[in-house]
Structures are given as C-alpha cells and as structure tokens.
Amino acid sequence: MNFNELLEKLKKLDYKDLYHNDFFLTWDKTQKELEAIFTVADTLRYLRENNISPKIFDSGLGISLFRDNSTRTRFSFASACNMLGLEIQDLDEGKSQIAHGETVKETSNMISFMADVIGIRDDMYIGKGHTYQKAVAEYVEEGFKDGVLEQRPTVVNLQCDIDHPTQAMADTLHLIHEFGGIENLKGKKVAMTWAYSPSYGKPLSVPQGIIGLLTRFGMDVVLAHPEGYEVMPEVEEIARKNAEQYGGKFTKTNDMAEAFKDADIVYPKSWAPFAAMEERTNLYGEGKFDEINVLEKKLLAQNAEHKDWACTEEMMKLTKDGKALYLHCLPADITGVSCETGEVDATVFDRYRVPLYKEASYKPYIIAAMIFMQKVKNPEETLQKLVDKNKARLER
C-alpha cells in the first residue's frame, strides 16, 4: 500500500482507546486496535523507506529496563524511540539504587521526569513480570495525578512471563505481508511447536503470545509439545475462546509430525514447562539455590529425552507442499552450528535466513507504532503533517 491507502485504512478503524494507554497483553486490545497498530507500523516504515523523517518528539526519553538478556528487542526498542525523536536510556538495576532496596514506586517516578515511554522486559519468573509492569504503570499514573510528573509515560511490555506482544505482533505483520493481507490469514494452519534445546529456561511468553494472537485471525493454530511441557492453562483458554469467536481452530497434540502435517506456517521453539517455571520461581523466592541447581539438571535431562523434536528437512516435507513458512523469534539453536543438537537443521535455517531477518525487521516499527498510538491524539493528522512537511531524514 502507498501512503494514502494506509491513511484511508487507518481512518476506518476505531482505536481511540489506545491514546494515553499502556500496552501489556495483545488480548487486552480489540481487533481494530491491533489492526491500527499494524497499519501505523507500515506507515512509519513507508516514511523511513522514502527518506521522510518520522520524528514526532523534539525531546524526551525512552527508558528501557531489561531483566533478561536481549539483542533484537533491546535494539528494536532503541530504534523505535530514536525513530520518533526520543533519546534512549537504559536502566541498569545493578548500577542504580534498586540494588540498595529502592522501591518500585520510587524508581518509577525517579526515572520518569522527562520520560515519554518505559519499555520493560521481565520474563524470567512466573507471576512476577506482568505484575511488575502493571505496578510501574500504576505508580507513574499516581505520580502524574499528584503533579510530580508533567507527563505520564506509557508502559510497553517488551516481554513478560505471560506474553511477548511486540514479538507476536511483529510475527503477525510478517505473515500479513507474506500472505498478502490480514484477510488472507484465515484458514492458514500454524504449528506452534516445542523443539529441543540444550538449555532449559526459555520463557513461555513466545508460544503463549502466538497462540493468544494468531487465533484471532481465523487461523488453524496447533500447539504441540511433549507431555509435561504445558503452557499456562489460562492462555490456552484465551486461545480457545479466540478460535470460537473468530472462526478459527485451536488444538493441542503431543506429536510434532501431526502438527507439521499440511501446515502453512511452522514455529518450532523451545520453552520450559509451566510447572517447572513455577517451581523455579518459588525456589528463588525462598533462596533455595541448591535446589534450583538440582531442578536445572533434572530439566536438562528431561529435554534430552526429546531430541527428536526438531525442525528437520524430513519434518518440513510434511508441511503444505513441503514449503511452509518457517518462523522463529531468534536466536535459534541450530544443529551443528550454535549447538551439537538443537531446534532446527542448519539447512532449513539457512534456506529461511532472509525471511527470518525480514520477520525480525518488523519489530522496531511495531514498537514505534505502539508508542505513536499511545502518544498522538490524532494519528491521521500527524502522519499527514509528516508527509506534507517532507523533511528529509538523511540529506543525500
């Protein structure tokens, strides 16, 4: 779509509740709101690709807080903030007063004096990450109402224990482009499957984010994993209800081949069992570090029993015409490359390397669109002004 087509599409959508709001979980948002974010992401990409500056801020901060390692999401958030005109500042908890017992309430206000957005990744412990993000939002809202903060920074979930909305939405926008429109996702079969990894603690939020979002577009979503690798039951229930409401399917299987059979899209990705992640969280809370080491060894041994759960060339032949689109949030555990045995064969990964990089490229625009829609009261008018102004991002 060109700019005018994107703008006309945006005008037909009801997204008013995104303004001055936060973004925690995709299932908190309406279909129209999600589609508006996809549309604005495409529009911002159009501006940048046509050398038009998309800056809407003249000053301000984007605060990032990463409680887990990150490459793509960290740089995507920094790129999104910079694209819109915000400086990025990373909050290193080890170098802050948080290490000395500063409260969440105090930290939230102290970092927010000139902040317009706070991006938080907190995905390691069940029952903690989403709760922490909601607390930060509550405390900056309180600071704004009390007159401490002159603006209320919006909070963006860069991954929590429940959902990874920026990843799931970037994946979905990739699918929208690959299949030629959001309407063409209906009926497509998606295999969201567990795959073997030589590490044990990968978060649940990616598979949960995928089943919680793709079931909203009439897709046939299959969740596959060995017995004992269940995800959160409440997210499964969300996926089931979505499938019923939007005319799709949500099924589960303990057979990877069954999930791959005739699939249009495959997403083989390791994750830790929900019950084990709960146990680990409880052990950390009790300071039982020796028991955590025992749990880790147990889970690694459990993983090793399922090395056949891998995206191999033989498995890919089971997919629709043997050419299903391969997705991964990256980094993938590539057999013979990054590990001895992993999630995906090197030949499969190499064949899909360019589409995978394209998939990842949507994330900065998704995050920028989330910020844009939460900060701009009239997005259509603002986007039109940016085009009319036609300020070159780069003087060539």
Q: Are residues 100 and 198 in the same domain?
A: no
Q: Average of pLDDT values for 261-290?
A: 95
What is the predicted pLDDT for the residue at 69?
A: 87
Q: Are residues 87 and 180 in the same domain?
A: no
Contacts (Cβ under 8 Å, ≥6 apart) of 113? 149, 150
Residue 395 lies in a domain: no
Q: Taken in order 384, 184, 243, 26, is the CA torsion positive or negative?
A: negative
Provide the domain count of the chain: 2
Residue closest to 123 by CA, chosen among 203, 64, 193: 203
Residue 46 lies in a domain: yes
H/E segment holding residue 302: helix 289-304
pLDDT tens-digit readout, 204-229: 999 999 999 999 999 999 999 999 99
DSSP state string for 174-229: HHHHHTTSGGGGTT-EEEEE----S-----SHHHHHHHHHHGGGT-EEEEE--TT-
Which pair of structure tokens corresponds to residue 315?
């498995």
Q: Are residues 217 and 306 in the same domain?
A: yes
Q: Average of pLDDT values for 74-93?
A: 95
Tell me the residue range of the domain where 108 lies: 3-163+363-389
Residue 287 lies in a domain: yes
Q: Are residues 127 and 15 in the same domain?
A: yes
Size (the chain), residues: 396
What is the predicted pLDDT for the residue at 200?
A: 82
pLDDT tens-digit readout, 284-336: 999 999 999 999 999 999 999 999 999 999 999 999 999 999 999 999 999 99
Q: Average of pLDDT values for 270-292?
A: 94
Residue 243 lies in a domain: yes
What is the predicted pLDDT for the residue at 396?
A: 79
Q: Are residues 68 and 18 in the same domain?
A: yes
Q: Are residues 333 and 270 in the same domain?
A: yes
Residue 394 lies in a domain: no
Q: Are residues 374 and 339 in the same domain?
A: no
CATH number of the domain at 32, please. 3.40.50.1370
How far apart, in whole angstroms, are the C-alpha atoms of residue 72 and residue 357?
10
- Whether pLDDT at 99 is above 60: no
Q: Average of pLDDT values for 119-148?
A: 96
Region class of 50: left (phi > 0), else alpha (psi between -120 and 50), else beta: alpha
Residue whose token pair is 């997919």: 319
Q: Are residues 309 and 370 in the same domain?
A: no
How far is Cα of residue 74 from the mean position of the Cα atoms in its chain? Answer: 12
**pLDDT, averaged across the chain:** 96
Residue 396 lies in a domain: no
Q: Are residues 150 and 255 in the same domain?
A: no
Indicate yes or no: pTM above 0.85.
yes
How far apart, in whole angstroms, are the C-alpha atoms of residue 167 and residue 364?
10
Residue 248 lies in a domain: yes
Q: Average of pLDDT values for 4-10?
A: 97
Contacts (Cβ under 8 Å, ≥6 apart) of 187? 218, 219, 220, 248
Residue closest to 61 by CA, chosen among 371, 382, 376: 371
Partners of 122 in the β-ladder: 160
Residue 135 lies in a domain: yes
Please name the amino acid found at residue 394.
Answer: L
Q: Are residues 335 and 195 in the same domain?
A: yes
How far apart, in whole angstroms, are the C-alpha atoms of residue 352 and residue 355?
5
Contacts (Cβ under 8 Å, ≥6 apart) of 395? none
Q: Are residues 177 and 141 in the same domain?
A: no
pLDDT band at 97 (very low <50, low <70, confident <90, very high): low
The more confident residue out of 71 and 368 is: 368
What is the predicted pLDDT for the residue at 55?
A: 97
Q: How far is CA 104 from CA 110, 153, 167, in A?
A: 10, 15, 26
Please name the amino acid found at residue 119.
Answer: G
pLDDT band at 95 (very low <50, low <70, confident <90, very high): low
The overall longest dimension of the chain from CA atoms, in Å, is 62
> Helix, strand, or coil here: 300?
helix
Q: Are residues 356 and 376 in the same domain?
A: no
